[in-house]
Structure 1
Amino acid sequence: MEQDDHSPVLALIREDRLPGQPVADTHLLTGRAREGLAEVTTLVVSDAGDQIAGVVQCAVRTSDEAA
């Protein structure tokens, strides 16, 4: 994921936010939210016009190897 993708990716995540979930910010993609995680992979899907259509982020929690 490129730096230019951060803003539209965060906007997409915010649109899907459920009540009680924290608001997504740049730390979700780059900062403390990744502490204790390994193999962080972000997949950004774009449409034919190169507009972001979806995003998923997966990781392994190092404390217990949970994925």
Structure 2
Amino acid sequence: MDYKLNDIVEMKKTHPCKKSNQWQIIRMGADIKIKCLGCGAVVMFPRREFEKKLKKVIV
């Protein structure tokens, strides 16, 4: 999949806040940092793990 900084992505599992499963990419590199659009929580994944959990790129 093709994704870049500030893209909105949908993950396979919803966030425990239950408000959204949409996230914004806020940092890219060897690790990828994403921010929940429902509650604002920030999570960092290694790139390989992020790509496994990614469902689709929305914007």
Is this a same-fold pair by TM over 0.5?
A: no
For the aligned pair, the TM-score class normalised by the smaller chain equals under 0.3
- After TM superposition, the score normalised by the length of structure 1 is 0.26
- After TM superposition, the score normalised by the length of structure 2 is 0.27
